[in-house]
Structure 1
Amino acid sequence: MAAYGDYIRSKFPAIDDELYDYVQGILSGGADDFKDSEEVYEAIGEVLQEVAENKSENDIRHICDHLLLLMRPERAKQLGNGPAKVLNAPVNLASMAANLETNMEEIKSIWVMSRDDGFKVDAKKLEKAEAKLQQKQEKRSQDSVGGKAPAAPRLETATASQVTSKKESKLEDKGSNRAQDIRVENFDVAYGNRVLLTGADLTLAFGRRYGLVGRNGLGKTTLLRMLSSGQLRIPSHISVLHVEQEVVGDDTLALDSVLQCDTVREELLRREREISASINSGCTDPELNSQLTEVYAQLQNIEADKAPARASIILNGLGFTTEMQQRKTREFSGGWRMRLALARALFSRPDLLLLDEPTNMLDIKAIIWLENYLQNWPTTLLVVSHDRNFLDTVPTDILHLHSQRIEAYRGNYEMFEKTKTEKMKNQQREYEAQQQHRAHVQEFIDRFRYNANRASSVQSKIKMLEKLPELKAIEKEVEVVLKFPEVEPLSPPILQLDEVAFCYSPDHLIFTNVNLGANLESRICIVGDNGAGKTTLLKIIMGILTPTRGMRNVHRNLKFGYFSQHHLDQLDMNVSAVEVLQQTYPGKSVEEYRRQLGSFGVTGDMALQTVGSLSGGQKSRVAFARMCMGAPNFLVLDEPTNHLDIESIEALGKAIRKYTGGVILVSHDERLIRMVCKELWVCGGGSVRSVEGGFDEYRRIVERELLEAQAAK
């Protein structure tokens, strides 16, 4: 087992532990289960393909050959090429019939692919592999403890079908399509058995900035992934970059990591080094001097000498100091590597930039800088965000994903809300007017149906009703409601920090001389740059960390509810939401768990789904429900808006205002801060201070600092 385990690690260094354990579970003890390498490929090949870097299907098959050789040397001669693959995604036949001519050649314009957001696996093959793994796990459990083995996690598959026009297909085949606008027409997207989009259209005009909005779980992130991976077809000459994965940590300097994105510049510099080395070594070829002159001219044309300064400005705006820019990427945490990935994307300027919740990883200063930077973005931008202020500042257009389709609106989010509200009112008025007209006509028909003198009029009215367009009543989205528990009042003092200081080491002081207090009426927001000590302060408040100096005094009946910014990592993805509460607070009825989940919008079948199949926002609601199951009287919330949609953030703000206990939160969401906070604590410069004037004053301070930094550059 160790031999092929090490072999898998060597061939797929980027494979995560969960996938590695899954593959190991299928292969371990399974030599007798695999007749040839094709069965090995059927079991794990497509899983490995998803985590492979620059490996083709043939490469994966060769790896499966070698794995079989390691398990069954005597069967190595039985390795085969395997059967032909077939498409397993749905084909939109109705759209084919409506849009294509009867010529058989037109069938070639149908483009169908399937995608798995985690990894791509055929359903029948997966079922077979899971059955084998289940048998092995049950056998092991019977041999040891005799308990029931946990089932392998179910892998949901996202699929897409798309119809492309004959004209676009011919242009693409000839390589003569140079359009900069992107049109994805008449496409369907499903995730597992759930349809996300049907007959949808998406048009992205070059140079415009689009904000994609919609409720959690409707498929916004899935849509971005399908665009970036080619599951939804766009012109091949358009470069697409999706900021989703953090930069891999290695010995590359942060600044160099960004500069390497400019592949044209990197290639010219490589050629310049090679030619110069040849000349310096004594080569007298006259062509070398002319080649070097040409390379210098090209470097000058692309302003290669200005690239380091441009990269440094982007990194500085995202919070990287001059010293940090010279550090190796492996020295940064995951959050900072995500910032590096964003910096690389901004520097490379693809034709289509896809951003998914870019403000999640940023502090308020970096968000303000990013808002200003993206307002001058030269190509096409499609961004998913829950930050109302960001959506009011950056997008020129809003794309609203709802009811399995996408509607486009001109303007920012504020204009979108006004336009959508007015549009819904007009549609409702039109629907009600038609219903009244139908009722009036139907009354005439019913009254004179058997009157021979009015027979022609009745028939005319019936035909008129049949020709009326079918209008539907406006489906109002269900309002999101979050409800925190009622708490008993406590007599002050509740919470007090006196002359508190904290340092992780003598040369790593976080803050000193902190004198702050809170009560059950407190609505305090802590702001400051990343690394300034916001989360450290929260942990001192809750008693998780002990102050280096000073005193922390709390009421003996104070009970904290802590929502961590890494709450998703603390949820078991393989159990249902009900089981998550059951694990933390055992002994209660299922109805009580479901009632608690319902208080945070996790209702119906959603409460019985595995947590891993829920969207980020739905997982956050499960975490809220678990936090409040213990009836805390003081909430400590660290970045609670991450992964929540706009409606859920509004509901969170309302719930905090109604809550009768105390609240301290760390947040970068300007709208939430303005909704709930009565007091602002600012971390930075080795201290924590309360700011008079609230968020408006803090924003003025930040904007002034950004202007000063820009002037210094």
Structure 2
Amino acid sequence: MLHINDLTFRIEGRPLFEQATLAVTKGAKVGLVGRNGTGKSTLFNIIKGALSPDDGSVNLRKGARLGAVDQEVPSGPESLMETVLAADKERNALMREAETATDPMRISDIYTRLSDIDAYTAESRAGSILSGLGFSAEDQQKPCSEFSGGWRMRVALAAMLFASPDLLLLDEPTNYLDVEGSVWLESHIRNYPGTAFIVSHDRDFLNAAVTHIAHLRDKKLFSYTGDYDRFEKQLREQQRQSMSLRAKQDDERKHLESFVNRFKAKASKAKQAQSRVKRLEKMKPVATIINDPIPPIDLPSPEKSLSPPIVRFDDVSLGYDEDTTILDHLDVYVDFDDRIGILGRNGEGKSTFAKGILGMLSPKSGFIKRHKKLKIGYFAQHEI
């Protein structure tokens, strides 16, 4: 489906890829991983044709259709359903032609093709995709302009999935999805009839969705069969083997150098010493696989523990105006050493709950009690 052959690409003279090679077979679901800055998004731009390689080639199977989420998300008056349906350009063109065609043979061909591409189930399929990504049946009839940027990204993703290209390019698709949307996308990708190439830092998503891993390191691409966990095991074993070979080579090098230094001046040993010099010259260093460094995150500890509860909600209702209640009848008790994850669909009040804890939002009813010595650190979703 996709062949990357001896790809070389430089940015301001600095090589990002050097003779990188990868073959992606038809139907494979490939996760592209590597530390930040190694060129994952750049590689996608080269595949899409937005950037040109300095050397080598990127070849898509002849006639194959490539799909990627547009940078320009839909924001017009068209409904979500209309936007997604518009992504199937062949269906739309055939439907328009059917309205004006007069030749009986051509009309027959049009309706045969419409049947072949399941054109008459299009709305049902589009609705299923939108529903999986979190849009209710009512939402699907609303204009795109009524939704925020994150939700519009979901519409763009839905449109691309509905178009069903032969090769999907997905760059961090779970960044704008909630848990339910991510789980749905995992299943959809796993069962997708085409090929998918996915950049993601979401380990669970990669474990659930992909059949192969492409690891970008040392300016090259390395292919592994299996999910992310299996890739990690294979990589650790490769690291162990490379370190072992490197140690053996270092020992051999020291032994040869010692022999040469001891006997190079002796006529009786000169021939043997020269032979070992040649062996040293031919010895190629074993490349070792180094773990990608993970920068440490240092979270300071509180100066002292506080008596429980540090936060307490008693029958609390939260909302942004008199007519709208986002959260109702909340009873929450938080101890000093609790570690709490807040899960829920987008729009159901996770950030509203956090604002209630922070005091950025006053309760419409009930009361919120915070420990008098409580200090809160807050990192908002749009902080950066």
Do both share a fold (TM > 0.5)?
yes
Q: Deviations over 1:446-497 (max 9, x none)?
A: 1111111112111111112212222244434334311011321233332111
Contact 2:74 2:155 in 1 (8 A): no
Identify which of 238, 241, 246 aligns with 2:64: 238
* Residue 423 of structure 1: aligned partner: 238
* Residue 216 of structure 1: how far off its partner (Å): 1.8
Give the secondary structure class of the aligned counterpart of 2:142.
Answer: coil
Q: Is 1:226 the equivalent of 2:57?
A: no
In structure 1, the residue matched to 2:55 is none
The residue identity in structure 2 corresponding to 1:402 is R
1:321 to 126, 129, 136: 136
1:566 equivalent in structure 2: 382
Work out whether 1:202 is the aligned partner of 2:22. yes
Shift of 1:511: 1.8
Render the CA deviation track for 1:57-91: whole Å, top value 9, x for unaligned: xxxxxxxxxxxxxxxxxxxxxxxxxxxxxxxxxxx
CA 188–291 in structure 1, closer or farther in 2 if over 3 Å, else same: closer
Instruction: Decide whether the 8 Å contact of 2:206 with 2:228 is kept in 1.
Output: yes
1:211 matched to 2:31? The reply is yes
Aligned amino acid, residue 406 of structure 1: L
Instruction: Name the counterpart of 1:556.
Output: 372
Shift of 1:194: 4.3
Q: Distance in 2 between matches of 1:475 and 1:371?
A: 30
Aligned twin of 2:94: 268
Q: Does 1:406 align with 2:232?
A: no
Task: Give the Cα separation in 1 of the matches to 2:79 and 2:294.
Answer: 48
Count of aligned positions: 377
Of 263, 270, 285, the residue aligned with 1:455 is 270
Whole-Å separation in 2 of the counterparts to 1:305 and 1:227: 33
| Whole-angstrom distance in 1 between the partners of 2:17 and 2:198 | 18
Show the counterpart of 1:184: 4
Q: CA deviation at 1:213?
A: 0.9
Residue-by-residue CA offset, 1:372-428 (whole Å, 9 max, x unaligned): 111111222111111111111111111111222221111100100000000110111
**Counterpart AA for 1:492:** P
Match of 2:360 in 1: 544
Query: How far did residue 238 of structure 1 move?
Result: 3.2
Determine helix, strand or coil for the equivalent of 1:270. Answer: helix
Select the residue among 75, 83, 91 that pairs with 1:257: 83
3-state SS in 2 of match to 1:550: strand
Q: Distance in 1 between matches of 2:288 and 2:7?
A: 25
From 311, 314, 321, the equivalent of 1:495 is: 311
Q: How does 1:133-532 map to 2 (within 5 A)?
A: 181-192=1-12, 194-232=14-52, 233-235=58-60, 237-275=63-101, 287-489=102-304, 490-505=306-321, 507-532=323-348
Aligned partners of 1:244 and 1:356 also within 8 Å: no
User: Given residue 495 of structure 1, which amino acid in structure 2 is its aligned partner?
Assistant: V
Looking at structure 2, the residues matched to 474 and 288 of structure 1 have their Cα atoms a distance apart, in angstroms, of 65
**1:555-604 deviation line (CA, Å, top 9, x unaligned):** 23222211111122xxxxxxxxxxxxxxxxxxxxxxxxxxxxxxxxxxxx
Deviation at 1:196?
2.4
Q: Partners of 2:48 and 2:375 in 1: how far apart?
A: 46
Structure 1: runs of 5 or more not aligned: 1-180, 276-286, 569-713
Is the contact made by 1:246 and 1:337 (CA closer than 8 Å) also made in structure 2?
Answer: no
TM-aligned CA distance change 1:333 to 1:511, over 3 Å:
same
Deviation at 1:521, TM superposition (A): 0.6
Q: Which has the higher helix share?
A: 1
Structure 2 SS opposite 1:538? helix
> Structure 2 length normalisation: TM-score?
0.93
Q: Deviations over 1:293-313 (max 9, x none)?
A: 332222222221011111111
Structure 2: distance between partners of 1:239 and 1:503: 46
Whole-Å Cα distance in 1 between the matches of residues 11 and 374 of structure 2? 44
TM-aligned CA distance change 1:293 to 1:522, over 3 Å: same
Whole-Å Cα distance in 2 between the matches of residues 474 and 259 of structure 1? 47
CA drift at 1:314: 0.7
Identity of aligned residues (%): 38
* d(CA) in 2 for partners of 1:544, 1:244: 35
Distance 1:289 1:461 in 2: 85
Does the 8 A contact of 2:246 with 2:288 survive in 1? Answer: yes
In structure 2, the CA distance between the partners of 1:387 and 1:505, relative to structure 1 (3 Å rule), is: same
Correspondence list, 1:669-708, <5 A: none
Using a 3 Å threshold, how does the CA distance of structure 1 residues 222 and 458 change in structure 2: closer, same or farther? same
Residue 474 to residue 253, structure 1, CA distance change in 2 (3 Å) = closer
Q: Distance in 2 between matches of 1:452 and 1:486?
A: 70
CA change 1:436–1:220 in 2 (3 A) is: same
**Matched letter for residue 363 of structure 2:** P
Structure 2 gaps of 5+ residues are 53-57
Give, in whole Å, the separation in 1 of the partners of 2:136 and 2:89. 25
1-structure distance, mates of 2:237, 2:6: 27
Deviation at residue 550 of structure 1 after TM alignment? 1.2
Judged with a 3 Å threshold, the aligned counterparts in structure 2 of structure 1 residues 245 and 426 are, in CA distance, closer, same or farther, namely same
